[in-house]
Structure 1
Amino acid sequence: MSVCVCVCVSTMACTLVCLGVVQTEGGKVKGKNQNMGLLHSVDVFKGIPFADVPGRWELPKRHPGWDGVLQAIKYQKRCLQVTLLQLSSQGSEDCLYLNIHVPQGVSRGLPVMVYIFGGAFLLGASNDVPFLGNSLYDGNEMADRGGVIVVSVNYRVGSLGFLSTGDARMPGNYGLWDQHAAISWVKRNIEAFGGNPDNITIFGQSAGAASVNYQMLSPYSKGLFRRAISQCGVALSPWAIQLDPMATTKKVARKVGCRTTNEEEMLLCLKITDPVGITMAAKLNLLLIPVMNLLEFTPVVDGDFIPDHPSRLFNNTADIDYLAGVNSMDGHLFAGVDVPSINQRRKETTAAQVKKLISGLTQQKGAEAIQSVYSMYSANWGSVPQQDMVKKTVTDIETDYLFLVPTQVALQLHAQHARGARTYSYLFDMKTRIPGLPSWVGAMHAEDVQYLFGKPFDKPLIYFPRHRDLSGYMIAYWTNFAKTGDPSRGSKVPTIWPPFTPSRHPYLVINSDITKSSVRYSPRPGDGRYTSRQETLNTWTDLDGSL
């Protein structure tokens, strides 16, 4: 194990000295010790390979190992993907690496938390999102303050990670298999870093949250991890599953010049085509509305890793403690693309625009379905609705359909199938810090991540004390859950978080002012515009037979 010892040069000064060499199944690795304050440090190991360079649309294989000591001191390349602006590609096919953050000064047998990044299954990396000189996903603060080992992993994305024919020829889900390989590596090796291989929690945000849910649902995960956390996404989310994968594969083939009516010839052509070209063929068509239809490279029911529709696989989660939730305005980012006027002070958002959005989301189910949803959300508008109310309603519609309702259904299915496992629900509701947005905007998609990874402590000058309060609460709740399966048991928290059960559906409102009254039951605290939480669920689930 990597060992830190306290060396005292006088009666007043002690320094942590870390030895930093760990034996893994592939060979020895040496990380770097990061000082976190007085007698606090974290051993950081970056760029450890958990699998060999993957073959094109093949499952990951174990790494053959290395001689000598691997200097695990820098992040490795991300998996090949388009850049954020989609003007070029970045990354490499040699990308299956992970990073480990180990707190020092604590005992062996530490709980382990494995983070799966988001990015629409199209973008991202374990060290993604530069944040004032560091990665947003840097696990040092969480490891140090929570007393857990934090692991972040890479996986294939885009066309190289999720292209599929819908059958055995190219079954898909290669990115999910990569995640599984990484978690399996952690299970086999984390004891050497001081971790408990029988107490692993996987957690993720957005596409990473849906991935967490898929890992829970897969029969291949039995006994692999003990707990799971989904932040703003589940496998039931309408953007998280491919329904016609062959159509997407044929579209990619046409883009890269593999034009043939013979499917076998097409697949052979794709196999030998430049991977950069295949990657660039995954670019989003930003003219497609609603924006949820942009996500074409996502998991698929393959009859193997995901043997059936996700809604019918929750029996596989019976022994896994599960915590899941959404941000209060998760849908705002997408609503602003679908209906740009909601962020434009001088432009009106009309009832016709709202109905057009609903029509796109309900997949043209007909006028009656559109009117049903519209009537529910506009019930309290009045004869002359205020524009802020109309614009906020657009965000509520996308939040509910893309995030809230699928998450609530997933929580209900988990609670119904649980055999001793616990279920917890939350709503993250800290007002946005993004400048220039309307005053009514709450917590947008991905705004929770900065607090969970302790950025208000790491970069104190750009945050206020209330942000550090929130960050401390989230780290405590999340790491308590990882340690015990109960977010209220362990480090001190501001209030008890009751479990979600088949008959009672409490959730915790998470912000910088958590009290006993933060435990609620209605869907939109303090809002009261919709007749009931159950009506919202029933309306959307009736329109989507898969929920």
Structure 2
Amino acid sequence: MFLVLLLGVCLSAASAAKLGVVQTEGGQLQGKNHRMSLLFRSVDVFKGVPFADVPGKWEKPTPHPGWSGILKADKYRDRCLQVTLLQTKTKGSEDCLYLNIFVPQGRKLSKNLPVMVYLFGGAFLLGASNDLAILGDSLYDGKEMADHGDVIVVSVNYRVGTLGFLSTGDARLPGNYGLWDQHAALSWVRRNIAAFGGNPDNITVFGQSAGAASASFQMLSPYSKGLFRRVITQCGVALSPWALQRNPMALTKKIARKVGCWRKDEDEMITCLKMSDPVGLTMGGKIDVLLILGKGTVMDLMELAPVVDGDFIPDDPSKLFHNAAEFDYMAGVNSMDGHIFAGVDVPSINMKNGNITVKDVSGLLVGLTKEKGTTAVDSALDVYSSHWGIAPEPEVLKKTVADIETDFLFLVPTQIALNLHANNTSGARTYSYLFNMKTRIPGFPRWVEAEHGEDLQYLFGKPFATPLVYFPRHRDLSKYMIAYWTNFARTGDPNEGNSRVPATWPALTKAHRPYLTINHKITKSSVSYDLRSNYVTYWTDTYSRLPSVSREEI
């Protein structure tokens, strides 16, 4: 009995360290310590940490006034006010500028850890730092990533939809409020993360989809100098065609009509909008699905987004890569990022006996390339049909539709961003990847590979957190991704750090364009060169040189 007691005392004395109460600039915080599967390992979790005050409508965030006593940081706070996924109502609150912190601990308190700040996706319309609860924990729960990679993970809320991105295109409603929220969160992390055991001089911003485009905008903004060191964009960049509003006043007038604020006098209209109910305004920014039935594509629905405001984004993003010269940069896409959108634009691609014709393929190209008029369709079709043969199988046509949408919305803009970074870098490194693990979504055709968003479950360690719904190959992939991502956050090189990786991933340079194919079987042969170069060349050279038609003609 004595030995059992002694063993218990020893184990408890040697259990993982924990932070307890942490002093921040706003006051004291107390999180919750979670034991992990390995002995002497735990993660301190702080949920709902305020990084700014309740924001005014269409105003930049302001510092939080602070609190007295100890704030219990053990519950996620409301997401920012937004439409629901089905677009039928709203949820969330205007009091939403909170972040969550995941700090790994061993036997001694962690010190000087790399910090990874995650920006969620959701088309700039919806989403939250604790989004999509799957079997208990949020999809973005950072415990497994923090524990396996020995990094601090931070997830951040920011304003979305009408309240985050409405703009008149001038100083009256400049827009980009959601980007300013992200910037305020990053600034808070830099000022406070040392108290949690983080290194304020080693912060990496990473995000997926609209969150990746956001991370890209943060990297390109002149306001980010010295704020963080590295950036990872997954399936989205500031150059993506859906990531920037080109005609913000037109959208503002459309929303004004919906909420009864349309006036000939723009100043009167803006005054009315500022006095309008936030819930009504948020519903006014919902997606008009009926708009694309029979005309246009899914891309036409993605209206609310950042703008070139002459301030946070001073110029077209393609002209701002000199601001990114000192940031290490890693970027990639999923091999079928566009499939889910292609399935809306051309529904027959997912039907077992769905009929698809060359006319369907050219119809999609008409919708995507309408800013160039009809001249682009034939040249694009020539490029995408070059491997078809005389009588292509329906499956080949269906996969071509998914490839076109993937290239146009995600892959080509990402390749352009990587090349611009490599061409402007001053000693910082550039890495390119293609994630192509076969889809786990039931019901899709056999040819479907990695769907939009499928990389996240592996990066956030779901195969470890919920092992019963995954196989060993999924845990291998999760281990590899966490290793590459956290090594990159630690050193700026995905091959160097605390975690062993299955193959060396070479950097992309002006002269060489290697990329790593990421799945559960990574070997030396997973490194290839010039990702889809024929298609990248078509969109960047041939297509971009075609004259644009005027808006009236579109």
What is the TM-score normalised by the length of structure 2? 0.94
Counterpart of 1:119? Answer: 122
Tell me the percent identity.
Answer: 67
Counterpart of 2:25? Answer: 25
What secondary structure does 2:260 align onto?
Answer: coil
Counterpart of 1:42? Answer: 43
Offset of 1:184 from its aligned partner? Answer: 0.2
Is 2:350 the partner of 1:349?
A: no
1:144-293 to structure 2, matched below 5 A, reads 144-287=147-290, 288=292, 289-293=296-300
Offset of 1:364 from its aligned partner? Answer: 4.8
Mark the runs of 5 or more structure 2 residues left unpaired by the alignment. Answer: 1-5, 549-554
Kept after mapping to 1: 8 A contact 2:415/2:536: no
Is 2:426 the partner of 1:424?
A: no
Kept after mapping to 2: 8 A contact 1:190/1:196: yes
Kept after mapping to 2: 8 A contact 1:362/1:543: no
Offset of 1:539 from its aligned partner? Answer: 3.8
1:497-508 to structure 2, matched below 5 A, reads 497-508=505-516
Kept after mapping to 2: 8 A contact 1:331/1:399: yes
Offset of 1:18 from its aligned partner? Answer: 2.7
Letter in 2 for 1:203: F
Offset of 1:383 from its aligned partner? Answer: 1.5
Kept after mapping to 1: 8 A contact 2:142/2:460: yes
Offset of 1:131 from its aligned partner? Answer: 1.1
Kept after mapping to 2: 8 A contact 1:405/1:540: no
CA distance in 1, matches of 2:543, 2:201: 38
Offset of 1:238 from its aligned partner? Answer: 0.1
Change (3 A) 1:253 1:104: same
Counterpart of 1:133? Answer: 136
Change (3 A) 1:532 1:238: closer
CA distance in 2, matches of 1:277, 1:103: 42
What secondary structure does 2:36 align onto?
Answer: strand
CA distance in 2, matches of 1:513, 1:49: 41
Counterpart of 1:471? Answer: 478
What secondary structure does 2:16 align onto?
Answer: strand
For residue 486 of structure 1, the aligned residue among 475, 481, 493 is: 493
What secondary structure does 1:135 align onto?
Answer: coil
CA displacement, residues 148-202 of structure 1 (integer Å, 9 cap, x when unaligned): 0000000000000000000000000000000000000000000000000000000
CA distance in 2, matches of 1:324, 1:405: 12
Counterpart of 1:373? Answer: 380
Offset of 1:418 from its aligned partner? Answer: 0.3
**Segment drifting more, 356-365 vs 75-84:** 356-365
Kept after mapping to 2: 8 A contact 1:48/1:97: yes
Offset of 1:255 from its aligned partner? Answer: 0.2
CA displacement, residues 66-107 of structure 1 (integer Å, 9 cap, x when unaligned): 000000000000000000001110000000000000001264
Counterpart of 1:527? Answer: none
Measured on the aligned residues, the alpha-carbon RMSD in Å equals 1.5
How many residues get paired? 534
Kept after mapping to 1: 8 A contact 2:46/2:101: yes
CA distance in 1, matches of 2:359, 2:405: 16
What secondary structure does 2:314 align onto?
Answer: coil
CA displacement, residues 18-56 of structure 1 (integer Å, 9 cap, x when unaligned): 352100000000000011122110000000100000000
Offset of 1:537 from its aligned partner? Answer: 4.3
Change (3 A) 1:228 1:235: same
**Segment drifting more, 536-545 vs 186-195:** 536-545
Letter in 2 for 1:60: P
Kept after mapping to 1: 8 A contact 2:383/2:535: no
CA distance in 2, matches of 1:533, 1:450: 28
Kept after mapping to 1: 8 A contact 2:19/2:44: no
CA distance in 2, matches of 1:146, 1:52: 32
Change (3 A) 1:517 1:458: same
Offset of 1:541 from its aligned partner? Answer: 3.7
Counterpart of 2:3? Answer: none
Counterpart of 1:9? Answer: 8
Offset of 1:286 from its aligned partner? Answer: 1.2
CA distance in 2, matches of 1:239, 1:417: 24
Counterpart of 2:55? Answer: 54
Kept after mapping to 1: 8 A contact 2:515/2:531: no
Is 2:445 the partner of 1:438?
A: yes
For residue 294 of structure 1, the aligned residue among 275, 289, 301 is: 301
What is the TM-score normalised by the length of structure 1? 0.95
Letter in 2 for 1:303: G
Offset of 1:346 from its aligned partner? Answer: 1.4
Kept after mapping to 2: 8 A contact 1:522/1:532: no
What secondary structure does 1:426 align onto?
Answer: strand
Kept after mapping to 1: 8 A contact 2:114/2:152: yes
What secondary structure does 2:181 align onto?
Answer: helix
Offset of 1:10 from its aligned partner? Answer: 4.0
